């Protein structure tokens, strides 16, 4: 006999960003009468969620049945994830979708800083945001301008601390979760050693960056911000698989097609803590291509200022592209990016970008930003307690704000046992 569960919002949280955000958000949802559940996948998850969670300690092959049964038995109506490409998240996402569960995916903000991404169903290459220029313009007419607000308080030390303790607990908790495999490439301990090395060399690298930028002053240059090879933006939403392959592609095109007086500035990602020596890599490849005098590498530097000063920016699909677009500079995207819209980004091949980059239509880009802020972004961050509190407040408004619509949806998707 079919039995319809009582109508009540019931949230299931899987992995979140390192730190207390998901736990604190769950407390606010519980205070508003929602049921809240959590499945821990490793020791870091247990550390960030102090009580009331269920541990999954089995093999990946057992995960689909485990999470599907959990969704059914607890009448889950909403699934909350941080990132939608992690293998266990991907499986849970697909199974939840079969049961009519609403999916809420968080990610780092498409526009940074001061904003986080929160979208239904998926983010980045899986985003359902409309990219048709005419539709964007029509939708933007009913929306207010993007607000000009004071910056959110942020501390790199806070993010570093949260990440350290999370991954420390992943390592020490490996015996409780013997089958857990991180979605991140590489070894966590090696990454930790990489961070120690990065901090030790930070002053030297800052001096090198300053000297490089001084030598580049007054010369026309294109900016190429590197991304993390382990990032799903590279692994799942680009044709390259690794950032090294992407860099080879860009350097080869620059060597073959860029004007003789143009320079290329390769900027390392600030969170790249691996032992890959990008300076040596770039120098070696540029020398082999005969462009060593026109290709430069830096760690650090003000990305916003560099984007404003550059002739244009080459991205695989980094959110850094929005900084250049905001400054009215041409951007070409080599992978999938939410802002890769005809009229906003360069739509030709990279070989043509160097000598004829297409500048963005700023009216269209403003319309895109209005729609993006209204439907995909929430104000707040993870790098301070005040930023997290702002993020939670705006998350609650987004998750619970459309009450009538949610009740209708849940009634139609009520779970049967």
Tell me the pLDDT band of 157, cut-offs 50, 70 and 90: confident
Write the pLDDT tens digit of every residue in 22-38.
Answer: 999 999 999 999 999 99
- Model confidence at 412: pLDDT above 70: no
Among 77-86, 135-144, 174-183, 207-216, where is mean pLDDT lowest?
207-216
> What's the rounded mean pLDDT across residues 256-279?
85
Tell me the pLDDT band of 178, cut-offs 50, 70 and 90: very high
C-alpha 43: how far from its chain's center?
Answer: 23
Query: Is domain 10-153+377-410 in CATH 3.40.50.20, yes or no?
Result: yes
Total Cβ atoms within 10 A of residue 232:
20
Residue 413 pLDDT: 44
> What's the rounded mean pLDDT across residues 133-147?
95
Domain boundary assignment for the chain: 10-153+377-410, 209-370
Phi, psi angle pair for 278, to nearest 5°: -70, -35
Q: Would strands 263-267 and 221-225 be described as parallel, antiparallel, or unpaired? A: parallel
Winning range, highest mean pLDDT, from 179-183, 298-302, 374-378, 407-411: 374-378
Residue 401 pLDDT: 81
- Where does residue 52 fall: left (phi above 0), alpha (psi -120 to 50 degrees), or beta otherwise? left
Which of 225, 290, 296 is closest to 264 using CA atoms? 296
Q: What is the CATH code of the structural domain delimited by 209-370?
A: 3.40.50.2000
Write the pLDDT tens digit of every residue in 206-260.
Answer: 667 677 788 888 899 999 999 887 777 888 888 998 999 999 999 999 999 999 9
Q: Which residue has the tokens 């607890």?
A: 74
Residue 199 in tokens: 């901090």
Q: At what angle do helices 156-172 and 188-200 cross, to 10 degrees?
A: 150
Among 65-79, 154-168, 194-208, 326-340, where is mean pLDDT lowest?
194-208
- Could you give the percent of the chain with pLDDT greater than 70? 87
Residue 404 pLDDT: 35
Tell which wins on pLDDT, 406 or 95: 95
Residue 374 pLDDT: 93
Check if the beta carbon of residue 52 is closer than 8 Å to that of residue 28: no
Residue 356 pLDDT: 96
- Model confidence at 50: pLDDT above 70: yes
Residue 199 pLDDT: 58
Residue 416 pLDDT: 39
Beta bridge pairs of residue 331: 313
Write the pLDDT tens digit of every residue in 315-344.
Answer: 999 999 999 999 999 999 999 999 999 999
Q: Average pLDDT of the chain?
A: 88
Q: Do domains 10-153+377-410 and 209-370 have the same CATH topology?
A: yes
* Cα distance between residue 289 and residue 298, in whole Å: 19
Tell which wins on pLDDT, 129 or 112: 129
Check if the beta carbon of residue 325 is closer than 8 Å to that of residue 300: no
């Amino acid at each position: 006999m079919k039995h319809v569960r009582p109508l009540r919002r019931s949230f299931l949280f899987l992995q979140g960003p390192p730190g207390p955000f998901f736990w604190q958000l769950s407390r606010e949802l519980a205070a508003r009468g929602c049921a809240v559940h959590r499945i821990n996948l490793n020791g870091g998850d247990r550390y960030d969620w102090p009580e009331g969670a269920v541990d999954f300690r089995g093999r990946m092959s057992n995960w689909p049945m485990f999470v599907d049964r959990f969704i059914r038995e607890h009448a889950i109506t909403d699934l909350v994830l941080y990132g939608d490409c992690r293998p266990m998240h991907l499986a849970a996402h697909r199974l939840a979708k079969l049961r009519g569960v609403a999916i809420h995916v968080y990610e780092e903000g498409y526009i940074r800083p001061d904003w986080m991404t929160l979208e239904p169903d998926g983010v980045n290459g899986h985003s359902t945001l409309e990219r048709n220029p005419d539709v964007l313009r029509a939708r933007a007419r009913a929306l207010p301008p993007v607000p000009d607000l004071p910056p959110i308080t942020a501390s790199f030390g806070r993010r570093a601390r949260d990440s350290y303790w999370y991954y420390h607990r992943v390592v020490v908790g490996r015996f409780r979760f013997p089958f857990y495999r991180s979605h991140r490439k590489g070894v966590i301990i090696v990454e930790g050693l990489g961070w120690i090395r990065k901090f030790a060399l930070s002053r030297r690298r800052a001096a090198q960056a300053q000297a490089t930028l001084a030598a580049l002053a007054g010369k026309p240059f294109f900016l190429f911000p590197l991304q993390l090879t382990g990032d799903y933006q590279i692994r799942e939403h680009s044709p390259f698989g690794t950032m090294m392959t992407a860099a080879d592609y860009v350097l080869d095109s620059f060597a073959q097609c860029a004007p003789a007086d143009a320079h290329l500035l390769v900027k390392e990602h600030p969170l790249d803590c691996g032992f890959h020596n990008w300076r040596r890599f770039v120098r070696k490849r540029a020398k082999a291509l005969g462009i060593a005098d026109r290709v430069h590498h830096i760690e650090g530097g003000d990305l916003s200022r560099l984007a404003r000063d550059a002739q244009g920016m080459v991205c695989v699909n980094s959110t850094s592209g929005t900084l250049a677009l905001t400054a009215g500079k041409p951007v070409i995207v080599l992978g999938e990016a939410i802002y890769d819209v005809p009229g906003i980004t360069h739509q030709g091949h990279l070989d043509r970008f160097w000598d004829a980059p297409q500048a963005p239509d700023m009216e269209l880009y403003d319309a895109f930003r209005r729609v993006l802020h209204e439907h995909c972004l929430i104000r707040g961050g993870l790098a301070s307690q005040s930023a997290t509190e702002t993020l939670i407040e705006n998350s609650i408004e987004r998750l619970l704000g459309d009450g009538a619509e949610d009740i209708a949806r849940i009634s139609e998707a009520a779970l049967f046992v």
